[in-house]
A = this chain, B = another copy of it.
Amino acid sequence: MIIVLRPEATEAQVNHIIDKIKALGLTAHLSKGSERTIIGVIGPEDVLRVTPLEVFPGVENVIPVLSPFKLVSREFKKENSVIDLGKGVSIGGKEVVIMAGPCTIENIDSLFEIAREVKKAGATVLRGGAFKPRTSPYSFQGLGKTGLKMLKQVGDELGLVTVSEVMDLRDVGLVADSVDILQIGCRNMQNFNLLKEVGATKKPILLKRGMASTVKDMLMSAEYILSAGNFSVILCERGIRTFEDSTRNTLDISAVPVAKQLSHLPIIVDPSHAAGKWGLVPALAKAAVAAGSDGLIIEVHNHPEEAVSDGAQSLIPANFFNLMTELKSIANAVGRKI
Give every chain B residue within 8 A of A31 (Cβ-Cβ): 29, 31, 40, 42
- Asked whether, in the complex, the Cβ of B245 is within 8 Å of the Cβ of A242, the reply is no
Number of copies: 4
Q: CA A309 – CA B258 in complex, angstroms?
A: 23
Q: Given that A34-B43, A252-B250 are contacting pairs, would A308 and B65 also be in contact in the complex, using a CB cutoff of 8 Å?
A: no
Q: Is A284 an interface residue (CB 8 A)?
A: yes
Q: Is A241 an interface residue (CB 8 A)?
A: yes
Task: List residues 235-294 of chain A with CB under 8 A from any CB of chain B.
Answer: 240-247, 250-258, 261-262, 274-275, 277-280, 282-284, 286-292
Interface extent on A, as a size class? Answer: 35 or more
Q: CA A218 – CA B257 in complex, angstroms?
A: 27
Q: CA A275 – CA B258 in complex, angstroms?
A: 10
A171 to chain B, nearest CB (A): 9
- Asked whether, in the complex, the Cβ of A257 is within 8 Å of the Cβ of B284, the reply is yes
Q: CA A135 – CA B221 in complex, angstroms?
A: 7
A258 to chain B, nearest CB (A): 5
- Asked whether, in the complex, the Cβ of B214 is within 8 Å of the Cβ of A246, the reply is yes
Segment among A49-57, A81-89, A119-127, A145-153 that sits at the interface with chain B: A49-57
Give every chain B residue within 8 A of A275 (Cβ-Cβ): 254
Nearest opposing residue in chain B for A57, CB measure: B305
- Asked whether, in the complex, the Cβ of B308 is within 8 Å of the Cβ of A50, the reply is yes
Supplied contacts A52-B312, A55-B305, A55-B311, 5 more A-B pairs, CB within 8 Å = A35-B66, A137-B228, A212-B243, A214-B243, A250-B254
